Amino acid sequence: MSVNATPAGADVAADGTETGGGRQAAVPAQRTRRRGKVPLSENKRAERKLGLLLCAPAALVMLAVTAYPILYSVWLSLQRYDLRFPAEREFIGLQNYVTVLTNEFWWTAFGVTMLITVVTVAVELVLGMGLALIMHRTLVGRGIVRTSALIPYGIVTVVAAFSWRYAWTPGTGYLANLFSDGAPLTERASSLAIIMLAEIWKTTPFMALLLMAGLALVPEDLLKAASTDGATAWQRFTKVMLPVMKPAILVALLFRTLDAFRVFDNIYVLTAGANETSSVSMIAYNNLIRGLNLGIGSTMSVLIFITVAIIAFIFVKLFGTAAPGSDDGERR
């Protein structure tokens, strides 16, 4: 690499001679900047300007639609604000938070959401790993397996939820007739089980795809060597594959955990939150759209945001340097 070339104008020279991609070409540029004294070349300044210009629209949209509303939501959560009684709107400090946090419906929903998150992510990790291994290593019909595994990923969640609902409706459904004589969607435990089943069916392929990206990184030679040394299939999996796949597993777990925490569509269609099966998203929605209570709805929004931030923070602590994003040309 021509990284050691003289700094001033070296970027131009390196750009001209190097065959490598953007990563190498950018190294001299950074050196130039770090020295500080060398003025930026015309080219460099144009590049910076173009870079900022190209990113600005995406950055502006993302910030305008998330950062501003979440701050606005904090402001709304400090007010008594019910759209049915707009005249009573006033600033009430943290009173909404006291109302929500002392409300048993909130905590029930919180518990339900946590339960669904933990159970579905755990099951999906196991099933997803199996599916990833099948998609990656199967000797026959790889295309068919991958294609059919993508269908749950692509299908509209509401459609899948209706399919499960009718499957478990007594009389109409093939599953209801097979497995139970009651109406499973009218009891709490069985409703929750069906919601989890629907979630797992829908999102296992996504988990498997993320894990498959990790599987592709396991060197084939290493597996062969382990096999020659007499390692069993299980040992090869735990001692060779899992350590290499650790970053991929953590990424998959993070994304699926946060995604599972948002569960809404399946519950809306399957039970509409009946029999204490509401998730936090479900009751936040109900307070807003059905109850038209913006103050309480916003308070729940803020609380959900904080919970997700805490979960993400814990995961990022676990990640260390393996955090996604550190790969995107940021490792120079």
Partner 1 sequence: MADTTTRAKVRWGLLDVAVVVFALTPVLWIMSLSFKTPATLTDGKFIPREWTLENYRTIFATDQFVRALVNSIGIALIATVIAVVLGAMAAYAISRLDFPGKRVLIGVSLLIAMFPQVSLVSPLFEIERQLGLFDTWPGLILPYITFALPLAIYTLSAFFKQIPWDLEKAAKMDGATQGQAFRRVIAPLAAPGLFTTAILVFIFCWNDFLFAISLTSTERSRTVPVALSFFTGASQFEDPTGAICAAAVVITVPIILFVLFFQRRIVSGLTSGAVKG
Q: State which of positions 190-209 bind partner 1 (CB under 8 A).
A: 201, 205-206, 209
Among 115, 166, 189, 274, binds partner 1 (CB under 8 A): 166
Please report how close the Cβ of residue 26 comes to partner 1 at its closest, in angstroms.
5
For residue 166, which amino acid is it?
Y
What is the DSSP code (8-state) at residue 292? -
Q: How far is the CB of 227 from partner 1 (least distance, A)?
A: 14
For 172, residues 6+ apart whose C-beta sits below 8 A from its C-beta are: 166
- Least distance (Å) between residue 54 CB and partner 1: 4
Q: Does 1 bind partner 1 (CB under 8 A)?
A: no
Q: Which residue of 41, 177, 190, 275 would you call a contact of partner 1, by CB under 8 A?
A: 177
**Is 185 one of the binding residues for partner 1 (CB under 8 A)?**
no
Encode burial over 293-329: b for 16+ CB neighbours within 10 A, e otherwise: bbbbbbbbbbbbeebeeeeeeebeeebeeeeeeeeee
Structure tokens at 126: 């196991």
| CB of 224 closer than 8 Å to CB of 145 | no
Backbone angles phi, psi at 198, to 5 degrees: -65, -40
CB of 96: closest distance to partner 1 in angstroms?
12
Question: Is 103 among the residues that bind partner 1 (CB under 8 A)?
Answer: no
Beta bridge partners of 293: 82
Closest approach, Cβ 218 to partner 1, in A, equals: 12
**Distance (Å, whole) CA 260 – CA 264:** 9
Among the listed residues 116, 20, 101, the one whose alpha carbon sits nearest the alpha carbon of residue 329: 20
- Do residues 294 and 273 make contact, with C-beta atoms less than 8 angstroms apart? no
Neighbouring residues of 218: CB distance < 8 A, sequence distance ≥ 6: 240, 241, 244, 245
> Which of 83, 98 has the CB closer to partner 1?
83
Choosing from 176, 194, 196, 241, the residue that interacts with partner 1 (CB under 8 A) is 176
Residue 314 Cβ vs partner 1, minimum distance, rounded to whole Å: 12
Question: What's the closest the beta carbon of residue 84 comes to partner 1, in angstroms?
Answer: 14
Q: Which positions from 139 through 158 interact with partner 1, judged by CB under 8 A?
A: 139-141, 143-158
Binding test (CB under 8 A) with partner 1, winner from 35, 66, 274, 310: 66
Residue 87 is a binding residue for partner 1 (CB under 8 A): no
Subset of residues 292 to 331 that bind partner 1, contact rule: CB under 8 A: 294, 297-298, 300-302, 304-305, 307-308, 312, 323-325, 327-330
> Site for partner 1 (CB under 8 A): which residue of 173, 218, 240, 278?
173
| Core vs surface per residue 264-285: b (16+ CB within 10 A) or e | ebbbbbbbebeeebbbbbbbbb
Min dist. Cβ of residue 120 to partner 1 (A): 15
> Which 227-286 residues touch partner 1, going by CB under 8 A?
247-248, 251-252, 254-255, 258, 261-262, 264-265, 268-269, 280-281, 284-285
293 SS3 class: strand
**Which helix (H) or strand (E) segment is 79 a member of?**
strand 79-80
Specify the residue, 72 or 107, whose C-beta has the smaller distance to partner 1. 72
How many angstroms separate the Cα of 49 from the Cα of each of 34, 46, 61, 185? Answer: 18, 5, 19, 58
112 binds partner 1 (CB under 8 A): no
User: In this complex, which beta carbon is closest to partner 1, that of residue 4 or of residue 53?
Assistant: 53
Judged by beta carbon, residue 22 or residue 230, the one nearer partner 1 is 22
Q: Is 14 in the site for partner 1 (CB under 8 A)?
A: no
Q: Using CA atoms of 31, 34, 37, 42 in order, give the dihedral in degrees to the nearest 10.
A: 60
Among 47, 80, 123, 319, binds partner 1 (CB under 8 A): 47
